[in-house]
Chain A
């Protein structure tokens, strides 16, 4: 497969995953805000911006209208939801012949839908519906991809892109939440914070799944364990690391060489670290350093993938 095509497929799904994640986080937070006083709402927006790794969106005030408009609709910022969907669609457009027509139709439809709506109309009406559309649009794309695209190299790059993004996004979200909501506590949370923990779980579609495993007894250590180490829940960091590692292993199976070996080593290490991690030990240590390290490893894997499959130096390619 052409390197450029692999790269486009990777970013297509990465951008779409990012749009979906932002939509969910914004949706959950907007709903929570209705039940809050101004001061804690303001703190919430600060946390939100940090947990979404937003650096370029300019937010004039902490007014919900402003923040939502900027994060969801500011087409001049590359980090907004509309920009992420546009970037995903542009990547799809570049490889339109490599993906199924159904995939193209879906991403194109989502993009056109985003372009046709007016923020003020949504704000006056139901912002919730808008976010649902983004989330469902992304889910639909994922399902269409799985059922219409050959599960070969291209599909594997789609998988890797999605799960790298998810691992990083979940790690950051968890990190910021643990920082703000009192860390390492194995006690039941304060009542104030109770809703914050629910928001965190809902931001990862994890509330119901968590309750099924641990009952509705919300404890920070269990929440951290669930979002970080659970091997079966699709939005946990561990699950994402498994998918990334499986995908990269399959992609590199027919290829040999130093650069490819490095990719597998890095992906395998992250998967192993999460697979054999103990939540009590992690919480007893420096959880923030731990989560920062997870993000660093994700970035490292991405760079290694790029180096091995996309932008490799000509000399090494000619030598092998």
Chain B
């Protein structure tokens, strides 16, 4: 599929579009006949007017902004971890009001069902007793927390912050690629990308009629507040970070500052008599809600990994006693296990009696013998993922793999089939990106951030991640991906190119 894209001939436009090609993938800007879609027309016409030097100048301004703000992430696997700027693409990805309304409904449905699922499996286990999902599949998940059985969480909300990865199939339909229900990151880039784009394209932004996203941090703090123990009038909320060496530290600091809550590390907190306190210069201060950006394994050395120095001893007991709330709850990872993911459409039907609004990507469970032999016969067409990982680590991308890598994966799959799933290689949609003075298509996905407190809140859009290497399908920042701003248009918006209107 990607080959087809590379071999396709240019559309025949003048610079900067003279090398723009269409392939099998859905293109966000051009329809099948090469005409710009209605929502992109104003951007397209504006780009034809802007000289390349002007565009380069704006790209430089944007990069400088990121550099000065210290907006960097850490790449693992290299000595001491290297700080890098997250590559930013100038051109916004645009969604119409109707496209977004559909996605929004689908996300709300999904998060509601997943929360019901989590409550069920940690309490009565109806869905398991009814044989809708194999009990063995759920209990064998690495992220299933036995310790959470029978524990009640505030409002029965397990996942209060989710990042759901969506991709667009060649027919333009949005489908869910994976759910991130533990500690999803990237929302700060969504917010910063918007700030940068508004500086770089002020006229175009105004002409477009874009729905604002600035309310995210207020919504997040309201969501966290709604989890506070009921008797607390003014809950103290903190953001728990693993510390400055974590790859997402910039985001932790950014969100804490924007929310006006304290950014704490494990060593700032202590538990006494099942109550959590933070150490301040004026004494201990009670903590009611913790937005934790630390994985389950590390939150409490007494309950989980004993060698964790990031967590707080006794936190889990305080949590179980209900004196402190955690967002997200402990044990949500079982619901974003990639093998459980395959059952999410069934989960939605089971709890809500509705058809899923956003379908899944076809998924083969390699623990299933028939699926396995089907997949092993065509590894070069498949994407194989470990079930418990995130961030694009440890994947096999069939079409881009060597025979040796495929053999390696075959052995791994045969050794531990429950640990892997496979999906047919999906052609992610492509969107225009500004690269080396030209506009060229690159593959993108979309990660909207879903908040669930008193109700479901989703800021319009999300983080559009871009596979900046030509033909690449991997958008993860750890794997050479970048990002761009995402514009969701207001109802009835009539975008105008720059140079028209005032």
**Residues of chain A having any CB pair with chain B under 8 Å:** 1-4, 6, 93-94, 96-97, 101, 104, 153, 251, 254-255, 257, 309-310, 312, 314, 317-318, 320
Pick from A3, A94, A314, A318: contact of B280, CB under 8 Å: A3
Task: Give the chain A neighbours of B265 by CB distance below 8 A.
Answer: 4
Minimum CB distance partner of A154 in chain B: B281
Q: Is the CB of A317 within 8 A of B253?
A: no
Top 3 A-B residue pairs of the complex, sorted by shortest distance between their CB atoms? A3-B279, A309-B281, A97-B253
Pick from B253, B264, B282: contact of A254, CB under 8 Å: B282
Given contacts A94-B244, A96-B244, A318-B272, contact A4 B282 (CB under 8 A): no
Given contacts A94-B244, A96-B70, contact A4 B267 (CB under 8 A): yes
Does B283 count as interface, using CB distance less than 8 angstroms? yes
Does B256 count as interface, using CB distance less than 8 angstroms? yes
Most B CB within 10 A of own CB, among A2, A97, A312: A2
Does B297 count as interface, using CB distance less than 8 angstroms? no
For the complex, what is the distance from the CA of A104 to the CA of B70, rounded to whole Å?
Answer: 10
Minimum CB distance partner of B262 in chain A: A2
Q: Is the CB of A310 within 8 A of B281?
A: yes
Contact with A along B277-321 (1 / 0, CB 8 A): 111111110000000000000000000000000000000000000
Contact with A along B227-271 (1 / 0, CB 8 A): 000000000000000011000000001001100001111011010
Task: Give the chain A neighbours of B284 by CB distance below 8 A.
Answer: 314, 317-318
Q: For the complex formed, measure the closest distance between the CB of B276 and the CB atoms of chain A, giving whole angstroms.
A: 12
Task: Give the chain B neighbours of A251 by CB distance below 8 A.
Answer: 281
Task: Give the chain A neighbours of B277 by CB distance below 8 A.
Answer: 314, 317
Task: Give the chain A neighbours of B70 by CB distance below 8 A.
Answer: 96, 101, 104
Task: Give the chain B neighbours of A93 by CB distance below 8 A.
Answer: 244
Q: For the complex formed, measure the closest distance between the CB of B311 and the CB atoms of chain A, giving whole angstroms.
A: 15
Given contacts A251-B281, A314-B284, contact A2 B264 (CB under 8 A): yes
Q: State the majority secondary structure of interface residues on A.
A: helix
Task: Give the chain B neighbours of A309 by CB distance below 8 A.
Answer: 281
Q: Is the CB of A97 within 8 A of B280?
A: no
Q: Is the CB of B263 within 8 A of A314?
A: no
Pick from A3, A97, A318: contact of B281, CB under 8 Å: A3
Given A2-B262, A4-B267, A257-B283, 16 extra CB contacts under 8 A: A1-B280, A2-B264, A2-B268, A2-B279, A3-B268, A3-B280, A6-B281, A94-B243, A97-B257, A97-B263, A101-B70, A254-B282, A310-B279, A310-B281, A317-B283, A318-B272
Task: Give the chain B neighbours of A317 by CB distance below 8 A.
Answer: 277, 283-284
Pick from A4, A96, A310: contact of B253, CB under 8 Å: A96
For the complex, what is the distance from the CA of A251 to the CA of B282, rounded to whole Å?
Answer: 9
Given contacts A97-B256, A97-B263, contact A1 B281 (CB under 8 A): yes
**Residues of chain B having any CB pair with chain A under 8 Å:** 68, 70, 243-244, 253, 256-257, 262-265, 267-268, 270, 272, 277-284
Given contacts A2-B262, A2-B268, contact A255 B278 (CB under 8 A): no
19 contacting pairs across A/B (C-beta < 8 A): A2-B280, A3-B279, A3-B280, A4-B265, A4-B267, A93-B244, A96-B70, A96-B244, A96-B253, A101-B68, A104-B70, A309-B281, A310-B281, A312-B279, A312-B283, A314-B270, A314-B284, A317-B283, A317-B284
For the complex, what is the distance from the CA of A309 to the CA of B68, rounded to whole Å?
Answer: 33
For the complex, what is the distance from the CA of A4 to the CA of B272, rounded to whole Å?
Answer: 19
For the complex, what is the distance from the CA of A310 to the CA of B281, rounded to whole Å?
Answer: 6
Task: Give the chain B neighbours of A320 by CB distance below 8 A.
Answer: 283
For the complex, what is the distance from the CA of A320 to the CA of B284, rounded to whole Å?
Answer: 10
Task: Give the chain B neighbours of A310 by CB distance below 8 A.
Answer: 279, 281
Task: Give the chain A neighbours of B272 by CB distance below 8 A.
Answer: 314, 318
For the complex, what is the distance from the CA of A269 to the CA of B263, rounded to whole Å?
Answer: 36
For the complex, what is the distance from the CA of A88 to the CA of B179, rounded to whole Å?
Answer: 41
Q: For the complex formed, measure the closest distance between the CB of B196 and the CB atoms of chain A, giving whole angstroms.
A: 17
For the complex, what is the distance from the CA of A257 to the CA of B283, rounded to whole Å?
Answer: 10
Q: For the complex formed, measure the closest distance between the CB of A66 and the CB atoms of chain B, giving whole angstroms.
A: 30
Pick from A97, A101, A153, A255: contact of B283, CB under 8 Å: A255
Minimum CB distance partner of B264 in chain A: A2
For the complex, what is the distance from the CA of A309 to the CA of B281, rounded to whole Å?
Answer: 4
Q: For the complex formed, measure the closest distance between the CB of A175 and the CB atoms of chain B, giving whole angstroms.
A: 33
Minimum CB distance partner of A254 in chain B: B282
Q: Is the CB of A4 within 8 A of B268?
A: yes
Q: For the complex formed, measure the closest distance between the CB of A317 and the CB atoms of chain B, giving whole angstroms.
A: 4
Task: Give the chain B neighbours of A318 by CB distance below 8 A.
Answer: 272, 284
For the complex, what is the distance from the CA of A1 to the CA of B280, rounded to whole Å?
Answer: 5
For the complex, what is the distance from the CA of A209 to the CA of B109, rounded to whole Å?
Answer: 75
For the complex, what is the distance from the CA of A317 to the CA of B273, rounded to whole Å?
Answer: 14
Q: For the complex formed, measure the closest distance between the CB of B150 and the CB atoms of chain A, giving whole angstroms.
A: 30
Task: Give the chain B neighbours of A104 by CB distance below 8 A.
Answer: 70
Minimum CB distance partner of B283 in chain A: A317
Task: Give the chain A neighbours of B267 by CB distance below 8 A.
Answer: 4
For the complex, what is the distance from the CA of A310 to the CA of B280, rounded to whole Å?
Answer: 7
Pick from A4, A96, A255: contact of B279, CB under 8 Å: A4
Task: Give the chain B neighbours of A6 by CB distance below 8 A.
Answer: 281
Task: Give the chain B neighbours of A255 by CB distance below 8 A.
Answer: 281-283
Q: For the complex formed, measure the closest distance between the CB of A298 and the CB atoms of chain B, giving whole angstroms.
A: 20
For the complex, what is the distance from the CA of A254 to the CA of B282, rounded to whole Å?
Answer: 8
Q: For the complex formed, measure the closest distance between the CB of B175 and the CB atoms of chain A, giving whole angstroms.
A: 38
Task: Give the chain B neighbours of A97 by CB distance below 8 A.
Answer: 253, 256-257, 263
Q: For the complex formed, measure the closest distance between the CB of A307 and the CB atoms of chain B, giving whole angstroms.
A: 12
For the complex, what is the distance from the CA of A104 to the CA of B72, rounded to whole Å?
Answer: 15
For the complex, what is the distance from the CA of A101 to the CA of B67, rounded to whole Å?
Answer: 12
Task: Give the chain A neighbours of B283 by CB distance below 8 A.
Answer: 255, 257, 312, 317, 320
For the complex, what is the distance from the CA of A255 to the CA of B284, rounded to whole Å?
Answer: 12
For the complex, what is the distance from the CA of A317 to the CA of B243, rounded to whole Å?
Answer: 25
Q: For the complex formed, measure the closest distance between the CB of B264 and the CB atoms of chain A, giving whole angstroms.
A: 7
Q: For the complex formed, measure the closest distance between the CB of B260 and the CB atoms of chain A, giving whole angstroms.
A: 12
Q: For the complex formed, measure the closest distance between the CB of B240 and the CB atoms of chain A, giving whole angstroms.
A: 12
Minimum CB distance partner of A314 in chain B: B272
Task: Give the chain A neighbours of B256 by CB distance below 8 A.
Answer: 97
Q: Is the CB of B281 within 8 A of A153?
A: yes
Minimum CB distance partner of A1 in chain B: B281
Task: Give the chain A neighbours of B253 by CB distance below 8 A.
Answer: 96-97
Minimum CB distance partner of B282 in chain A: A255
Minimum CB distance partner of A7 in chain B: B281
Task: Give the chain A neighbours of B257 by CB distance below 8 A.
Answer: 97
Task: Give the chain A neighbours of B262 by CB distance below 8 A.
Answer: 2
For the complex, what is the distance from the CA of A312 to the CA of B262, rounded to whole Å?
Answer: 20
Minimum CB distance partner of B238 in chain A: A2
Q: For the complex formed, measure the closest distance between the CB of B167 and the CB atoms of chain A, giving whole angstroms.
A: 34
Most B CB within 10 A of own CB, among A6, A96, A97, A153: A97
For the complex, what is the distance from the CA of A312 to the CA of B283, rounded to whole Å?
Answer: 8
Task: Give the chain B neighbours of A153 by CB distance below 8 A.
Answer: 281
Most A CB within 10 A of own CB, among B257, B270, B272, B284: B284
For the complex, what is the distance from the CA of A101 to the CA of B71, rounded to whole Å?
Answer: 12
Task: Give the chain A neighbours of B68 by CB distance below 8 A.
Answer: 101
Q: For the complex formed, measure the closest distance between the CB of A95 and the CB atoms of chain B, giving whole angstroms.
A: 9
